[in-house]
Amino acid sequence: MANGKRGSFPNLKDLGLDGQLKTVRGAGRDGSFITLPGQLKYAFLTKARDYKGDGNFAYSTQFILPAGSVEQGELTRLLEAIYKLGAAEARARKEKVSSTFKAFSQVDDETGDQVYRFKLKRDIVDFGSKKVTGHRSVRFVDAKGAPIPAEKRPNIGTGTIAKLAFTPSFYSTPLMSGVSLKVTSVQILNLVRYEGRSDHFEAAEGYVYSEEGYEGETDAAGGEAFTRPSVGGSGSEEESF
């Protein structure tokens, strides 16, 4: 389970948490778990992104839980147990575990809530040849647990309420150690659609794009400096949620 080596997939019993968690439950023999509902932010689960421009595409989302809530406390408790078990297994194999620990979550500066980051690499890479042999995607289901076809999957906007199925995995590199959170499925309970406009801006009167050009654009030849614009209109085993 450490340093990129495949280890056992622990369940709640292995972690000493069987019957102790009310808000996180095991989902399958592959070591996956399911959260209670939380808020998604910067969700890129429909289409993978190349974050660093190096050709490594991945799906990702932030998952927000109120600080001090039962859900937040139990998720952190689960990840602490995963880390403890993973570190013990690594040391038993005589592997070094970095003492620099990466926190499981960060504090949202505006709300004080706890932010967890989930990710899934798109490409399946053969360990020996290093060649891409296939692609992964995040499975979508609706509130009733019915699968959503790939061509019907919505673009998820900030504020969407959802459950996540994920596989936690201990890791240790020369720089740091921690637990990665691999999102495998999302159950959308209350969808806020991302319509393409930045989450940071609201509609206002001003410079508006149209297919014919721009409204309210200054004439470079010395035309009217300002015209009143019109307002434009308006992220293996199947888990059972």
Q: What is the mean pLDDT of each run of 10 residues along the chain (241 residues)?
A: 48 81 73 90 93 88 94 92 91 92 90 94 90 93 94 93 93 91 95 73 62 44 42 50 74
Would 131 be classed as within a structural domain?
Answer: yes
Residue 241 is predicted with a pLDDT of 74
Q: Is residue 93 part of a domain?
A: yes
Distance CA 104, CA 115 (A): 9
Q: Are 57 and 49 in contact (CB under 8 A)?
A: yes
Domain shared by 208 and 186, yes or no: no
> Long-range contacts: 96-99, Cβ < 8 Å, 24+?
96/172, 97/2, 97/172, 97/177, 98/172, 98/173, 98/174, 98/175, 98/176, 98/177, 99/177
Structure tokens at 21: 């968690």
Number of domains making up the chain: 2
Residues 52 and 120 in one domain: yes
- Residues 38, 154 within the same domain: yes
Note whether 150 and 91 are same-domain residues. yes
Q: What is the pLDDT of residue 51?
A: 81
13 occurs within a structural domain: no
The predicted pLDDT at position 218 comes to 42
Could you tell me if 227 and 171 lie in one domain? no
Q: Domain limits at 229?
A: 204-234
pLDDT of residue 228: 40
Adjacent-strand bridge partners of 181: 168
Indicate if 178 and 220 belong to the same structural domain. no
| Residues 132 and 226 placed together within one structural domain of the fold | no
Let me know whether 49 and 77 are in one domain: yes
